[in-house]
Structure formats: structure tokens, C-alpha cells
Amino acid sequence: MDIRTMIAAQRRELAELLAGLPAGDWDAPTLCEGWRVREVVAHMTLPFRTSTPRFLLEMVKARGDVNRMADTTARRDAAALSTGELAASMRDNADTAWKPPGGGFVGALSHEVIHGLDITVALGVDRPVPKDRMRPVLDGINARSVGFFGVDLAGVRLVADDLDWTYGNGEVLGGSAQDLLLVLCGRKLPAGHLTGAPTGRFVQARR
């Protein structure tokens, strides 16, 4: 399966899940700190609804800070669009050939996989990402991409228990490849997803 086909499949599957969500789940928190499901979906579908000139204008308004721009537009669009419109935007653009700047289609697949997991893991939905989609995402991980998320992996070696994949050096932090991908992206996971001595650094605090 080629990357474009994987991207389209990932979007369609998430759109199907979103279409069946109870209304209250759209306001549930995700692994993206400060964003509910509706903000994450608004962010994921922003490229389908925004022209290049509009995107550049939003970046100017955010003074070149891509994270500030992403947060502002996600909150704005989540408030303006209905849940039906958000889910339809994901479904209707499954085949759209969007690529993040400098990321290529592997970057687009990573974007869909990571943010999809932000939603499903937070909601407790058992929806494993197929391993043929995980492999190119994991192969695209490097020090620069990890640095973008600002996660501290000093003294930690990530070891997947469902794929032949490791990252880093030090004490072993085990888990599924998709859970370890979320660790690389700076997410705090619910308890029970990770194993090993460093686990406490990467799980959500008890509420």
C-alpha cells in the first residue's frame, strides 16, 4: 500500500469514528493539552479549508509562531463549525493531496496518525493503527522531529513490544509502537499503556 492510500484510509476511518461519536465526546479532552476532540479535528481539517494566502496571513497574525497559529485557528474553527461539518470535512477530503511544509506525504501520514491517536487514546477507544502505517511514521522520526515537541528522553530507550523498533539509549520504556510514538510527541498517556522504570515521566497525573 502506498503512502497516499494509507493517508486516505486513515482519514476515512477516523471520519467514520467521528460520525458515530456521542455528542458529549466532542467536548472531551484529548492528549493535546488544552484541546478537546473538536479542536483536534478542526486542526486536522484546517489545510482542507484554508488557501495558501490565508495560511500565510494567519502565520503573520501569529508573528511566525506555528504553534500559536495552530491553537488560534483550532479554537476559532471549533467554535464556528458544527461537529457534523468537522466530521464531513475529514471524510470529504480523504484523498486531498495535502503535505505539511517540508514533511512530504510521510509527514501528512504522521499528522493523521498522531492526531487520530490523540483522540482515540484519550477516549479509551481500542483502535490500533495498522502496522504498515506505523512503520513509515516511525522511520521518519529523527532528533529534529523529537526536538520540535520538546520531549525529554534523556536516559530513556523506547522499545516497542509489537514491532521491531527502538529509539534512544538508557532505561527501557516499553509499550506498543503507537503509544511510544505519542511519547516521542510529548504526550502524557493514561496509566497502563507503558512499562518500565521511566514510566512515571510519561503518564498523566492522577486526578
* pLDDT tens by residue, 52-82: 888 888 889 888 888 899 999 999 999 999 9
Cβ atoms of 86 and 38 within 8 Å: the answer is yes
* pLDDT tens by residue, 31-45: 999 999 999 999 999
Strand partners, 159: 166, 174
Spatial CB neighbours of 180, under 8 Å, sequence gap ≥ 6? 158, 159, 160, 165, 167, 173, 194
* pLDDT tens by residue, 149-200: 889 999 999 999 999 999 999 999 999 999 999 999 999 999 999 999 999 9
| pLDDT at position 146 | 84
Q: Which of 82, 90, 83 has the alpha carbon at shortest distance from 12?
A: 90
| pLDDT at position 101 | 82
Q: 52: burial class by Cβ within 10 Å (0-12, 13-18, 19+)?
A: exposed
Tell the residue number behind the cell numbers 458529549, with chain if given. 24
* pLDDT tens by residue, 108-151: 999 999 999 999 999 999 999 999 999 999 998 888 888 888 89
Cα angle, residue 182 at apex, residues 179 and 183 outer, rounded to 5°: 90
Report the distance separating Cα 17 and Cα 136, nearest Å.
23
| pLDDT at position 170 | 97
Cα angle, residue 32 at apex, residues 108 and 111 outer, rounded to 5°: 5
Bridge pairing between strands 166-168 and 171-175: unpaired
Report the distance separating Cα 174 and Cα 166, nearest Å.
9
- Say which amino acid occupies 163: L
* pLDDT tens by residue, 160-171: 999 999 999 999
| pLDDT at position 80 | 97
| pLDDT at position 207 | 59
| pLDDT at position 150 | 87
Percentage of residues of the chain with pLDDT beyond 90: 82
Asked if residue 13 has pLDDT above 70, the reply is yes
The backbone torsions φ and ψ at residue 189, rounded to the nearest 5 degrees and listed phi first, read: -95, 155
- Percentages of the chain per state (helix, strand, coil), in multiples of 5: 60, 10, 35
Counting Cα atoms < 13 Å in the Cβ hemisphere of 128 gives: 9
| pLDDT at position 158 | 97
